[in-house]
Structure 1
Amino acid sequence: MKKSLWFVIGFAIYAGLMWFYLFQGADANLPVDLKGSAADPKVFMTDRELELSTDFSRIKDFIYFISVPLEWLIYLFVLGFGLSKWFRKTSSGLTKFSIVHTGLYVLLLSFASWVLTFPLRYYSFTVSKSYNISVQSFHSWMRDGLVDFWINWLLTTVMVAVMYWLIKKYEKRWWLYAWLLSVPFTLFLYFIQPVVIDPLYNKFYPLQDEVLKGKILDIAERADIPAENVYEVNMSEKTNALNAYVNGIGSNLRIVLWDTTLNKLSDNQVLFVMAHEIGHYVMNHLYWNLISSVVLSFLGLWLGNIIYRKWVEKYGKSWGIKGIGDLAALPALLLIFSLLSFAVSPVENAVSRKAERDADLYAIQMTNNPKAAVGAFQELATVSLSEVNPPKLVKWFLYGHPTMLERIHFLDSYKTSKKME
């Protein structure tokens, strides 16, 4: 109980410091040499839009930096107060089938986490609504949340069942066998994502603008992308934000545009955005992402196993855990993986930002229309209330893309350099 109190006090202090950093202490002033340039938000945003973008971004950033340690606190709470032991006892007493035990345990743990994090998720939803980024109804938001819950429950149950079977059968090298099995599983998820999982959340249909579709497919053909169609998704039912992407592998490759992007951007701006997404495919970023996830999962499982053993050895008795093969130890394992994921995220984001910069360069070379490129990002920043120059800590942990300041300045500089040639 005393340790739990100290964790809560520590969390409250951390939240206060993070609030001060984001709302008072962070320096997000524009570099002097960029004032008045195309990257200066005062050039393409009104004073009101500037105020809203700053407030909205800082609130959403704060929610993120609170939600991550809250997840850790929940796992510690479930372990420290004996809930995990009770979940295991309850689930094992209902049936003799171990897969059912696992499914019930994961359901109880997932539900406890879902309930405890619901207020913060709901607050995030209401913030997006109040700033007119989200236009989604509460019913639709809850539906998406429940779909997400059950998909995660199913995937987690399968992974946990396999993992703990391996721990019991191969106690010393379970992590290696788990990693080997995760490779085809990850490939499978990449393959089915566009055609099985994504349609559970939104409706996808072929792009209705045949002229624009032809221009996009022309870029895809020049890039040797095996795409026969371009898909539109009806995101305007949920959000005013803009997006487009290429995902999937093999025959399930999909080029997708949000209908909000089509409604807000000109055709030339849309072509730049799609050329950017196509650039990811051309430079094999999708496959590099897959390879990096495989490598990181190897390192994560290896290091996670070491920490997991030490934690169970040191704290297992007080948690009511019988050993590393005890399902009641799952929150400790999930906590370790979450900590490792958070720790490595700045490196992952830095690599991702480099890939995004390369895709921007590919797109501008493919379309040769810097004005449309700059305009696309200016419009995206305005509509999505994106903070053009976020604090460094936010950039390190949250930005897998270059900041809007960096992207617009890069494209504007490209425009200038082209004029000088």
Structure 2
Amino acid sequence: MPISDAPASLATALTLAFAAALCLGLALKFWLASRQIRHVARHRGAVPAPFAERITLAAHRKAADYTIAKLRLGLLDTALGAAVLLGWTLLGGLDALNQALLGWLGGGLVQQLALLAAFAAISGLIDLPLSLYQTFVVEERFGFNKLTWRLWLADALKGLLVGALIGLPIAALILWTMGAAGPLWWLWAWGLWMGFNLLLMVVYPTFIAPLFNKFQPLEDESLKARVTALMQRCGFAAKGLFVMDGSRRSAHANAYFTGFGAAKRVVFYDTLLRQLSPGEVEAVLAHELGHFKHRHIVQRMVVLFALSLAGFALLGWLSNQVWFYTGLGVRPSLSIDPSLAAAPNDALALLLFMLVVPVFMFFVSPLFSQQSRRHEFQADAYAMAQASGADLSSALLKLYEDNASTLTPDPVYVKFYYSHPPATERLARMQSPALP
């Protein structure tokens, strides 16, 4: 696609805006994490009064220590991420990688795919040490990690293979669309991306998830009958009820719905079934059904579709602007000789867009967190109407304790990051459903 030139002042403005947003976001993340660490540490010595009869002091202190350990590692990860982002962009890392691959492969689709693959591989290697430390040190220290090195390696190899088999074809299709579909390529690319995501929702539970975990039909007939009756009352149909061997990798417990349309299925972690009574399992499932009843899933998909459409439209415009590349430390491929075609810049545009947009979107993330917390309250209210409120309250407390979730988060940190309300707010709302 042709690239339009523009005054250097636009490139300078983008450089300054990006640098300012990166620094401000980094400072805000550090401030929020520091608040959370201080707040959790300050309340470590006493269980909050509403939980004093259910949560032991030892469990409360474990949750505080676990939260602080993750936050401190998160601070390091945040600093490293900002440095790496700066290295890829303004310090010329992405430009150097692109120029090296152009010199080796020339311009074309193969070079663009190689650029995406090389970027993903280098980014993965950079993230690997902290990821391993999180799993085999932090999670291990608090008794949550069940992964062996052999299982981790098997998961990593499977992930690479699945990522290559799925990611490379869709990337090639989108890159081809960017170069061949004319000025409205972004609309066609958006349609392809959305179709791919919908297809993945159907394919994932049947073909991809079983590569990593074992899924067996729920065998507890009493629980199965209870859960089936609940779903019938709620008007929800699923392809099956399955138990996943989550305990092979972690002691954390969970339950979720997966799939789309006729491929929907209910999945319980085996750890969840061990920790909760049948009534508590029913209440947790009723909460998840509440999300469907209130159409939260559909609402999130609509928001995702709208944001991705806006994102592709913005990328369609930015990818034609020289200042978009130069302002972020990258030289686009331009041919001085009008008779010669310049090498495509589509992969460069994609990577720059994916690197830069999260820097600016971070500042509006509290709006999405607030909406998510509101949805959780609605799902809790629905669960209380369909199952036992006492069971739901008891299940939540068990899950908070078993997952070492802090009961005393910093209120400002909650408003910015939490997708689920803190335990104190959820239990208060359950006791007084009329609260706004």
TM range (shorter): 0.7 to 0.9
Whether the 8 Å contact between 1:28 and 1:389 is mirrored in structure 2 is no
Give the whole-Å Cα distance in 2 for the aligned partners of 1:344 and 1:155.
31
Q: Specify whether residues 99 and 150 from structure 1 end up closer, same or farther in structure 2 by C-alpha distance, changes over 3 A only.
A: farther
Partner in structure 2 of residue 121 of structure 1: 131
Percent identity for Structure 1 against Structure 2: 23
Moved more, 81-90 or 331-340: 81-90
Relative to structure 2, which stretch is displaced further, 143-152 or 208-217?
Answer: 143-152
- Structure 1 residue 203: Cα displacement: 0.9
Counterpart mapping for 1:185-264 below 5 A: 185-264=196-275
CA gap of 1:186–1:215, structure 2 versus 1, over 3 A, is same
- Indicate whether 1:381 and 2:394 are aligned: no
Contact 2:63-2:405 within 8 A present in 1 as well:
yes
Q: Is the helix fraction higher in 1 or 2? A: 1
Residues 8-407 of structure 1 mapped to structure 2, 5 A cutoff: 17=31, 20-24=34-38, 36-37=49-50, 40=51, 42-64=52-74, 66-67=76-77, 70-89=80-99, 91=101, 98-125=108-135, 126-169=137-180, 172-305=183-316, 312-313=323-324, 315=326, 318-322=329-333, 325-367=345-387, 369-407=388-426
Q: Quick one: distance in 2 between partners of 1:365 and 1:348?
A: 26
- Shift in alpha-carbon separation, 1:242–1:172, aligned structure 2, 3 A: same
Using CA pairs below 8 Å that are at least 6 residues apart, which structure has the higher relative contact order? 2
**CA root-mean-square deviation:** 3.6
Once the two structures are TM-superposed, the CA of residue 129 in structure 1 deviates from its matched residue by 1.3
Counterparts of 2:318 and 2:36 in 1: how far apart (Å)?
32
Which residue identity does 2:38 align to in structure 1? Answer: Q
Gaps of 5+ in 1: none
8 Å CA contact 1:22–1:62 kept in 2: the answer is no
Q: CA deviation at 1:271?
A: 0.7
Cα deviation for residue 254 of structure 1 reads: 0.6
TM-score by length of 1: 0.83
The one-letter amino acid of 2:217's match is P
The worse-fitting range, judged by mean Cα deviation, of 269-278 and 50-59 is 50-59
> Do the aligned residues in 2 keep the contact of 1:374 with 1:412 (CA within 8 Å)?
no
Q: CA shift at 1:21, angstroms?
A: 2.8
**Alpha-carbon distance in structure 2 between the residues aligned to 1:312 and 1:153:** 32
- Alpha-carbon distance between aligned partners in 2 of 1:389 and 1:321, rounded to the nearest angstrom: 50
For residue 319 of structure 1, give the secondary structure of its aligned residue in structure 2: coil
How far the C-alpha of 1:28 sits from its partner, in A, is: 7.9
Displacement of 1:228: 4.8
Report the CA distance between 1:408 and its aligned residue.
2.1
Question: How far 1:104 moved relative to its partner?
Answer: 2.4
User: Aligned-pair distance for 1:247?
Assistant: 1.9
CA 1:71 to 1:365, structure 2 compared with 1: closer, same or farther past 3 Å?
Answer: same
CA distance in 2, matches of 1:345, 1:318: 26
Q: Please identify, of 69-78 and 12-21, the stretch whose mean Cα deviation from structure 2 is larger.
A: 12-21
Q: 1:311 to 1:122 in 2, by over 3 A?
A: farther
Q: Post-superposition shift, 1:362?
A: 1.0
Q: Distance in 1 between matches of 2:86 and 2:166?
A: 23
Quote the Cα distance in structure 2 between the aligned partners of 1:311 and 1:345.
Answer: 29
Evaluate the alpha carbon distance shift between residue 68 and residue 317 of structure 1 in structure 2; reply closer, same or farther with a 3 A threshold: closer
TM-score (norm 2): 0.80
Stretches of structure 2 lacking an aligned partner (at least 5 in a row): 1-15, 335-343
- Whichever residue aligns with residue 202 of structure 1, its letter is N
